[in-house]
Amino acid sequence: MAAPTRRQPTILTVAEHAGVSRMTVSRVLSGGKNVRPELAERVHASVAALGYRRNEQARSLRPGQRSGLIGMAITNVANPYYGEFVLGADEVVSGSGRGLLIGSTSEDEAKERLLIADFIGRQVEGLIVVPTGARRHLLPGALGGVPLVLASRAVAGVRADTVLVADVQASYDQVSALIEAGHRRIGFLGTMTSVFTGQRRFEGFRLAHEDAGLELDDDLVLVGQQDVESATVAMRSLLRRADPPTAVFCANNRNAIGAVRALLGASRRARGAKPTALVSFDNFELADVLGIPVTIIDHDARDLGRQAASMLIGRLDGADDGLPQTVELSTRTLDYGGAPQLR
């Protein structure tokens, strides 16, 4: 009792319906140049009557034709940050008449490799990747010449267009400001150490200490937290110390939200204690109304997506054929009572 799979009309169906050749139909479909208006009219009518839609797979089979597909590999689609990122990329990609093929890698190098191989098999015109860090399957040989743009993170040894955030500088600036304000024991909550942004944000943290002549206490550096739950646990362990940090730097919004959770939980028990100053790399909802001193290092994830897609489309449409470029998006600081002077 399965419904009969009605065969889609092809260009031939339309041609017969309109009483013209397939070529005339093809010409009308691709702009209508050099076709008698009357015939074009007939073809359009037949297309509408039959509900015909050109088969893009067949069309793109011809050499020189493009698939109109962009492959996008994201580490974690569930992070709102990457939701915004996808939206920005989609704006630009669909604006260029192409479509976005999306897959999630979950920071898994093997998944990333398979996903990219799959994308290439599907003839994507280009790739936008938030890389896990693995290198080999991103080399030009492995990609078969398909243009690649890396977003958020670079990969050592891979020369490709890259859009980054000014991780090191922004982290350096905010940690320096904490030290300037009198903080001497500053905690660090970070992601897996293999994550590029995590490394860079830690580097800014470390340099700020070094330049201030301040010894860095490794006991206050907790890394490996990829989600809110583990970040909450990590923050609690910092707060439970005999000599807890007076400020904590969070390397992404997952860690910041974990820190907030731990602080708000703790503050009910221990009211009156000095508030712990928080710095969060990446914004998060409600950050400004929590009543916790928090400084946000903010940038527009949607804009990051737009930039990455623009670089790629620029390559595809030949607007840019120079050497691979790296763009660093600058950040801005949102101060919600953060980094208060220590008495």
- Binding residues for DNA, rule: CB under 7 A, are 7-8, 10-12, 20-24, 26-27, 29-30, 33-36, 38-39, 54-55, 58-59, 61-65
Q: Which is nearer to DNA, 123 or 333 (CB)?
A: 123
Judged by beta carbon, residue 52 or residue 82, the one nearer DNA is 52
The binder of 36, among its own copies, DNA, none, by C-beta within 5 to 8 A per type, is DNA
- 31/157 with CB nearer DNA: 31
Closest of 260, 316, 289 to residue 97, by C-alpha:
316
In angstroms, what is the minimal distance from the CB of 1 to DNA? 23
Q: Given the complex with DNA, which of 11 and 178 has the nearer CB atom?
A: 11
CB of 131 to its own copies, least distance (A): 18
Which positions from 97 to 126 touch its own copies by CB under 8 A, shown as an x/- string?
A: --xxxxxx----------x-xxxxxxx---
Among 188, 205, 249, 284, binds its own copies (CB under 8 A): 284
Looking at the Cβ atoms of 84 and 217, the one nearer to its own copies is 84
Using CB under 8 A, list all residues that contact its own copies. 1-3, 5-6, 8, 51, 53-58, 60-61, 67-69, 77-80, 82-84, 86-87, 90, 94, 99-104, 115, 117-123, 141-142, 144-145, 228, 257, 260-261, 264-265, 284-286, 289-291, 302, 318, 321
